[in-house]
Structure 1
Amino acid sequence: MEMICLIYYVIFLFFSILFFFSSIYFMVLDYTMIVEFNLFFLNSLSFVMSILIDWMSLLFMSFVLFISCMVIFYSSDYMHGDLFINRFILLVVMFVVSMVLLIISPNLISILLGWDGLGLVSYCLVIYYQNVKSYNAGMLTALSNRVGDAALLISIAWMLNFGSWNYVMYLEFMKDDFIMKVIGFLVVLAAITKSAQIPFSAWLPAAMAAPTPVSSLVHSSTLVTAGVYLLIRFNFCFSEFLMLILLLLGCLTMFMSGLGANFEFDLKKIIALSTLSQLGLMMSILALGEYYLAFFHLLTHALFKALLFMCAGNMIHNMNSCQDIRYMGSLIYYLPLTCTFFNISNFALCGLPFLSGFYSKDLIVEVMSMHYLNFFIYLIFYVSIGLTVCYSIRLAYYSLFGELNFFSLNLISESSLLMLKGMSGLIMWVIFMGSVLMWTMFSTPYFICLSFFMKMVTLLMILMGLFLGLEMSKFNLLYLLKSLKFYQLSLFFSSMWNLPYLSTLGVNFYPIMLGNNYSMFDQGWSEYYGGLNLSNILIVFSKFFQFMFMNHLKIYLMIMVMWVIFLLIFI
């Protein structure tokens, strides 16, 4: 194992354990601390760096560092043979440090440092494998996130009106102020770009060009969760109208990504779309005012999603870097331990009772059932749960139980002990952490009294999703839609509701193609009507006159003969 990996693994693990127990201590005492460091004085002005330490920031940091240490341990073998593995590990560490800076900031300036750090390092990691696809994906990721960065910069300017950037101090009692409403809107804009909600969803599957350990880190606890975390911190200052918009966007994202995952064949993209679906769920429940539940789901989701990506990475590693699930199959015989971990994570994602995902997901759905909402939101929530189970079963069918369509001569085996140890570090938490968090986070247990049917509808949706997933896998829904002349519909679903045409192809491919067609504009009308065309016209005329002058006698005689013939015929 690389020395650098071991050092950071030990450091991150130590701090993760320390922060976890500190968060429980802070939670029990209901204790919040803001530490201020004086950076420097300028006349009577002091520049202060503030750090917010409460149970929420400590617990989230503990999870981020624990997942990061497992990912670094896993990377030491996954990236084995890479000439620049030290650079890769340092990039991952910079990524984690940016996230930690964002978590502990009660100040918009230091939040922007962490926020921009995440954007910059994510670009470097997405283009790590250097090819055209990676460059495109990296640029799309960076530019999509720049929208959010700009929104945060504008909100920093607006917050100058309050005399301080420490937003924590006056979120709640300045709630009805116009300036705070503007800042709330800008923060929501920043969060939906970072957490890839509609209409900024296209960059998330594109960012799969990064190495798998990076995907594991990005999709579980760092980049995409930054937006949700920011909204959890700001949730006191949002107006009702803004919450409704956020609820609608969250629900649509959840539904769109769940539907799109059922038409996808790239293993990593399916898991990426499932992340998008869970982010939509977090946003939706946050928009209903239940920020505690959003945070709870954020933590449980981080664990099983990290493990899911690690398992996918091991499969891809063994399948000679092939990511298409149609080539996989019967992997349960070749990679039994990886597939066991994969299945448990999948079940946690589906919300199977008594795994970590169940505690947060079931609670969210039941709390949502108690709200006074229209039927559309209620339906979308439950259908999205069914779709989650549907694509999870489809993925399991294709990769674990179906027929192996890979090379007959293969070497698929669990040869990598380090990667398995990295995954084993997470599996117990995926199983037990939901209940542990439930006991620690909620001082009084939630008791939700619903009718028998409403209680059972979650389980019903899970079973329906399971049945549909199996049926869809047996005969492919995509090919069925094609055969039934619903090809455009299947294309619409599988292309994330044409969002890539808006944010990917719409901003780079089509303008370039248009520029190629109208290159005349590019080369300049002055060129066409000026020097170049003038010389062309002069050359044509001079050739014509030259021809005339050299053959003037022949032409004169020919015209005379034609004139005589004309006279004879018509006169």
Structure 2
Amino acid sequence: MCSISFLNLISISMTCFFSSLYFLLNNLVYFIEWEVVSLNSMSIVMTFLFDWMSLLFMSFVLMIASLVIYYSKEYMGGDINMNRFIMLVLMFVLSMMLLIISPNLVSILLGWDGLGLVSYCLVIYFQNIKSYNAGMLTALSNRIGDVALLLAIAWMLNYGSWNYVFYLEVMQNEYEMQLIGSLVMLAAMTKSAQIPFSSWLPAAMAAPTPVSALVHSSTLVTAGVYLLIRFNILLSNSWMGQFLLLMSGLTMFMAGLGANFEFDLKKIIALSTLSQLGLMMSILSMGFYKLAMFHLLTHALFKALLFMCAGAIIHNMNNSQDIRLMGGLSIHMPLTSACFNVSNLALCGMPFLAGFYSKDMILEIVMISNVNMFSFFLYFFSTGLTVCYSFRLVYYSMTGDLNCSSLNVLNDEGWVMLRGMMGLLIMSIIGGSMLNWLIFPVPYMICLPFFFKLLTLFVCIFGGVTGYLISVSNLYTINKSMIFYNITNFMGSMWFMPYISTYGIIFYPLNYGQIVGKSFDQGWSEYFGGQHLYQKLMNYSQTLFLIHNNNLKIYLMLFVFWILILMNFLLFL
């Protein structure tokens, strides 16, 4: 099933890619309406929007999904229910397709909820308590966004159609469209895990690694960014854009800071995804939606590769994810290490790799834009932190000797996994340059002073050196972190967001709901409502049953009773 799915997806991906080139060069947009049912004057219509953006994104999602499924053939080889896993992944991809090509809020909700439901099934795929808790946190956090989208759908009834593309430009400054936009923004913030909904993203690492590669590169977390790219007109010159800029900037900073204190390999990469999502959201909130789309696509390539390499390493380390137990992997697993390092450098924005073209352009645009000092600091400091934790990760995993206590046979013999990674390796090298020429046919000419032009490079070099020095020096050996325990605990636990989310979204609301349910639904209202009525009717029916069953005795007793009452009445007179 893996091979068939891989071939089908890769062929559809190539078709979408060449179609997107045709649409882009000819500046085409196809709006297709398909009438599903027509009854009297009512018709149910399914609408699809095909333009260069949706087709290009679809091609990338399908390409990454095909390589992930091919990679899973070996990674999930020991799984009894392999076909079930592949079916879940395909359902996941299908939900994302529906979301990408929908210009209609109702069909977007179908794809959106499909992503939420299937992601829950995939997060709890390995059935243990940790997975169940992570799945519940993921599902309940995303439900907030689903409710916001439902409210937006209800409000769209005022316009006569749910096809938002018709109304955005016309109604840009109207109060109602701004309200719909703010609800959509809330939905996007939950799905893309912006503050204060960030804690579910690292928790979702309980899913199998191929799923993480798919989720964190091009499907679940990017759905919010993609939706806001479609609604980008509402963000420019409004309070929504300013609010989103602040929240996404803080998310970027918080994730970068947290990754420097983390020792779990998959969680470090998850936090780096969160940081990059903050970068996409922040540049989108400033009105540069094409740049956000550009970074979304380049990020998908190297992040999928990064997760695949992490999966290969974890596979070889007998399912150990602690980077302190790794070391010397470049000697034992040279091919995997090469892919890992290329994707890491692309993430850092190393010149001429995929991440460089989008990241460098974003930071230069920020320098010539009208942003305040705080936002400027968040952008550049977060970029430095990205390089810092990437170099720290490379230091712990690639250099020195293997620190694992047990005997591990490390090798690069998983050729199926390696072939899956090689496809993405090529794209991580050439993808950024290719997309740059496609999306921006006229190159951006950004004129800046010499120091500002090199500022991004300086920040990256400084971040890398800092990450290396912190790892090499005895900061961890003499437990400096224990001296500043409170600060370390605060920064290393995502600013206490997991605790707030776990108690704020799950524990207290569910507890309070149980109390309210017991007091009202199963308490007073039950006693004076349904149960009370039930008891009364039961009593009456038992009395009637008695009368019907003992008719002669009862009638004689009643007759005697009435005679006695009549005699008493006569005597009284």
Which amino acid is the alignment partner of residue 310 of structure 2? A
Deviation at 1:443, TM superposition (A): 2.3
Deviation at 1:481, TM superposition (A): 6.5
Which amino acid is the alignment partner of residue 13 of structure 2? S
Q: Does 1:95 align with 2:71?
A: no
Which residue pairs with 1:56 in the alignment? 53
Which residue pairs with 2:334 in the alignment? 336
Structure 1 CA distance for aligned equivalents of residues 177 and 294 of structure 2: 27
Q: Does 1:363 align with 2:361?
A: yes
Cα RMSD (Å): 2.0
Structure 2 CA distance for aligned equivalents of residues 200 and 142 of structure 1: 12
CA offset digits 1:187-226 (Å, max 9, x no partner)? 0000000000000000000000000000000000000000
Q: Does 1:218 align with 2:235?
A: no
Deviation at 1:409, TM superposition (A): 2.3
Structure 2 CA distance for aligned equivalents of residues 515 and 480 of structure 1: 47
Give the secondary-structure state (helix, strand or coil) at the position aligned to 1:223.
Answer: coil
Deviation at 1:345, TM superposition (A): 0.1
CA offset digits 1:329-352 (Å, max 9, x no partner)? 001111100000000000000000
Aligned residues: 519
Which residue pairs with 2:444 in the alignment? 446
Moved more, 211-220 or 460-469: 460-469
Change (3 A) 1:514 1:142: closer
Give the secondary-structure state (helix, strand or coil) at the position aligned to 1:40.
Answer: strand
Question: Does the Cα contact within 8 Å between 1:478 and 1:490 map onto a contact in 2?
Answer: no
Q: Does 1:137 align with 2:134?
A: yes
Which residue pairs with 2:170 in the alignment? 173
Deviation at 1:402, TM superposition (A): 3.1
Question: Does the Cα contact within 8 Å between 2:475 and 2:481 map onto a contact in 1?
Answer: no
Alignment partner of 1:115 out of 112, 116, 119: 112
Give the secondary-structure state (helix, strand or coil) at the position aligned to 2:311.
Answer: helix
Which residue pairs with 1:47 in the alignment? 44
Question: Does the Cα contact within 8 Å between 1:192 and 1:227 map onto a contact in 2?
Answer: yes
Which residue pairs with 1:14 in the alignment? 11
Structure 1 CA distance for aligned equivalents of residues 305 and 333 of structure 2: 15
Structure 2 CA distance for aligned equivalents of residues 505 and 418 of structure 1: 42
Deviation at 1:485, TM superposition (A): 2.2
TM-score w.r.t. the length of structure 1 is 0.88
Which amino acid is the alignment partner of residue 180 of structure 1? M
Which residue pairs with 2:199 in the alignment? 202
Which residue pairs with 1:427 in the alignment? 425
Question: Does the Cα contact within 8 Å between 2:316 and 2:408 map onto a contact in 1?
Answer: no
Structure 1 CA distance for aligned equivalents of residues 105 and 478 of structure 2: 51
Which amino acid is the alignment partner of residue 192 of structure 1? M
Question: Does the Cα contact within 8 Å between 1:482 and 1:490 map onto a contact in 2?
Answer: no
Deviation at 1:41, TM superposition (A): 1.0
Deviation at 1:407, TM superposition (A): 3.1
Uncovered stretches (5+) of structure 2, i.e. residues with no partner = 525-573
Question: Does the Cα contact within 8 Å between 1:204 and 1:272 map onto a contact in 2?
Answer: yes
Change (3 A) 1:141 1:180: same
Give the secondary-structure state (helix, strand or coil) at the position aligned to 1:504.
Answer: helix
Give the secondary-structure state (helix, strand or coil) at the position aligned to 1:106.
Answer: coil
Structure 2 CA distance for aligned equivalents of residues 179 and 515 of structure 1: 32
Structure 2 CA distance for aligned equivalents of residues 512 and 158 of structure 1: 28
Which residue pairs with 2:229 in the alignment? 232
CA offset digits 1:2-54 (Å, max 9, x no partner)? xx111110110001000001000000000000111001112112211000000
Question: Does the Cα contact within 8 Å between 2:327 and 2:399 map onto a contact in 1?
Answer: yes
Alignment partner of 1:68 out of 65, 69, 74: 65
Change (3 A) 1:26 1:403: same
Alignment of 1:513-524 (within 5 A): none
Which residue pairs with 2:494 in the alignment? 496
Which amino acid is the alignment partner of residue 371 of structure 1? S
Give the secondary-structure state (helix, strand or coil) at the position aligned to 2:441.
Answer: coil
Question: Does the Cα contact within 8 Å between 1:99 and 1:114 map onto a contact in 2?
Answer: yes
Give the secondary-structure state (helix, strand or coil) at the position aligned to 2:231.
Answer: helix
Alignment partner of 1:321 out of 319, 322, 346: 319
Question: Does the Cα contact within 8 Å between 1:23 and 1:59 map onto a contact in 2?
Answer: yes
Change (3 A) 1:515 1:270: same
Give the secondary-structure state (helix, strand or coil) at the position aligned to 1:48.
Answer: strand
Uncovered stretches (5+) of structure 1, i.e. residues with no partner = 527-571
Which residue pairs with 1:286 in the alignment? 284
Deviation at 1:480, TM superposition (A): 5.9
Alignment of 1:300-311 (within 5 A): 300-311=298-309
Moved more, 439-448 or 352-361: 439-448
Moved over 3 A (4+): 475-484, 505-516
Which residue pairs with 1:262 in the alignment? 260
Structure 2 CA distance for aligned equivalents of residues 313 and 7 of structure 1: 23
TM-score w.r.t. the length of structure 2 is 0.88
Question: Does the Cα contact within 8 Å between 2:172 and 2:233 map onto a contact in 1?
Answer: yes
Structure 1 CA distance for aligned equivalents of residues 37 and 481 of structure 2: 70
Which residue pairs with 1:23 in the alignment? 20
Which residue pairs with 2:537 in the alignment? none
Structure 2 CA distance for aligned equivalents of residues 477 and 140 of structure 1: 34
CA offset digits 1:366-417 (Å, max 9, x no partner)? 0011111111111111101100000000000001113311135221111211
Change (3 A) 1:270 1:41: same
Which amino acid is the alignment partner of residue 461 of structure 1? V
Give the secondary-structure state (helix, strand or coil) at the position aligned to 2:268.
Answer: helix
Change (3 A) 1:484 1:423: closer
Question: Does the Cα contact within 8 Å between 1:147 and 1:193 map onto a contact in 2?
Answer: yes
Question: Does the Cα contact within 8 Å between 1:481 and 1:487 map onto a contact in 2?
Answer: no
Alignment partner of 1:393 out of 385, 391, 394: 391
Which residue pairs with 1:539 in the alignment? none
Change (3 A) 1:142 1:71: same
Moved more, 196-205 or 482-491: 482-491
Question: Does the Cα contact within 8 Å between 1:481 and 1:490 map onto a contact in 2?
Answer: no
Question: Does the Cα contact within 8 Å between 1:356 and 1:430 map onto a contact in 2?
Answer: yes
Deviation at 1:508, TM superposition (A): 4.1
Question: Does the Cα contact within 8 Å between 1:212 and 1:309 map onto a contact in 2?
Answer: yes
CA offset digits 1:289-338 (Å, max 9, x no partner)? 00000000000000000000000000000000000000000011111000
Which residue pairs with 1:374 in the alignment? 372
Structure 1 CA distance for aligned equivalents of residues 131 and 442 of structure 2: 48
Structure 1 CA distance for aligned equivalents of residues 474 and 257 of structure 2: 14
Give the secondary-structure state (helix, strand or coil) at the position aligned to 1:263.
Answer: coil
Q: Does 1:35 align with 2:32?
A: yes
Moved more, 59-68 or 467-476: 467-476
Question: Does the Cα contact within 8 Å between 1:263 and 1:478 map onto a contact in 2?
Answer: no
